Structure 1
Amino acid sequence: MELKIDILPTAQYRLWQELGETPKNFVLYGGTALALRLGHRQSVDFDFFSSEPFEPNELYKNIDYLQASEKSQISKNTLTCLIIRQNEVAKVSFFGGLSFARLSSPEILSNPSIAIASLADLSATKIQVIQDRAEMKDYIDIAELLNYLSLEQMLANAIAVFGKEFNPLLSLKALTYYQDGELPQLDEKIKQMLLHLVNQIDLSKLPQVTIQSSQLI
Structure 2
Amino acid sequence: MKIYVQTLPKSTANLLEEIKCLPEISRFYLTGGTALSLQLGHRESEDLDFFSYLNFKSEIIQQSLLKVCPIDSVQIERGTLNVFLKGVKLQFLHYPYSLLEEFVPWNNLQLSSVIDIACTKLITISARGSKKDFVDLYTILKKFTLENLFQKLDEKYKDVHYNHIHILKSLVYFDDADGQPTPRMHVDFDWELVKQDITKKVKIFSIKYLT
The structure that is helix-richer by fraction is: 2
Alignment correspondent of 2:43? 41
Superposition deviation, residue 67 in structure 1: 4.0
Alignment correspondent of 2:185? none
Alignment correspondent of 1:104? 101
Question: After TM superposition, where is structure 1 displaced by more than 3 Å over at least 4 residues in a row?
Answer: 63-67, 183-186
Alignment correspondent of 1:57? 59
Greater CA deviation, 11-20 or 48-57? 11-20
- In structure 1, C-alpha distance between the alignment counterparts of 2:201 and 2:14, rounded to whole Å: 39
Alignment correspondent of 1:11? 11
Superposition deviation, residue 5 in structure 1: 0.9
Superposition deviation, residue 68 in structure 1: 1.1
- In structure 1, C-alpha distance between the alignment counterparts of 2:12 and 2:84, rounded to whole Å: 11
**Higher relative contact order (CA closer than 8 Å, sequence separation 6+):** 1
Alignment correspondent of 1:209? none
Q: 1:123 touches 1:157 (CA, 8 Å); kept in 2?
A: no
Equivalences for residues 194-213 of structure 1 within 5 A: 194-201=198-205, 202-203=208-209
> Which residue identity lines up with residue 68 of structure 1 in the other structure?
P
- In structure 2, C-alpha distance between the alignment counterparts of 1:16 and 1:147, rounded to whole Å: 29
Q: Relative to 1, partners in 2 of residues 1:165 and 1:72: Cα closer, same or farther, differing over 3 Å? A: farther
> Which residue identity lines up with residue 149 of structure 2 in the other structure?
M
Alignment correspondent of 1:151? 146
**What percent of counterpart residues are identical?**
27
For residue 126 of structure 2, give the secondary structure of its aligned residue in structure 1: coil
For residue 157 of structure 1, give the secondary structure of its aligned residue in structure 2: helix
Q: Relative to 1, partners in 2 of residues 1:195 and 1:69: Cα closer, same or farther, differing over 3 Å? A: same
Q: 1:178 touches 1:184 (CA, 8 Å); kept in 2?
A: no
Give the TM-score, by structure 2 length.
0.85
Alignment correspondent of 2:128? 133
- In structure 1, C-alpha distance between the alignment counterparts of 2:82 and 2:7, rounded to whole Å: 22
Q: 2:81 touches 2:93 (CA, 8 Å); kept in 1?
A: yes
Q: Relative to 1, partners in 2 of residues 1:12 and 1:94: Cα closer, same or farther, differing over 3 Å? A: same
Q: Relative to 1, partners in 2 of residues 1:200 and 1:184: Cα closer, same or farther, differing over 3 Å? A: farther
- In structure 2, C-alpha distance between the alignment counterparts of 1:62 and 1:4, rounded to whole Å: 28
Superposition deviation, residue 16 in structure 1: 2.3
Superposition deviation, residue 102 in structure 1: 1.3
Give the TM-score, by structure 1 length.
0.83
- In structure 2, C-alpha distance between the alignment counterparts of 1:152 and 1:161, rounded to whole Å: 14
Structure 2 unpaired stretches of 5+: 183-190
- In structure 1, C-alpha distance between the alignment counterparts of 2:128 and 2:170, rounded to whole Å: 9
Superposition deviation, residue 24 in structure 1: 2.2
Structure 1 unpaired stretches of 5+: 206-217
- In structure 1, C-alpha distance between the alignment counterparts of 2:64 and 2:55, rounded to whole Å: 15
**1:1-52: CA deviations, max 9, x gaps?**
2111111112102112222325322111100000111111111210000111
For residue 182 of structure 1, give the secondary structure of its aligned residue in structure 2: helix
Alignment correspondent of 1:212? none
In the alignment, does 2:154 pair up with 1:173? no
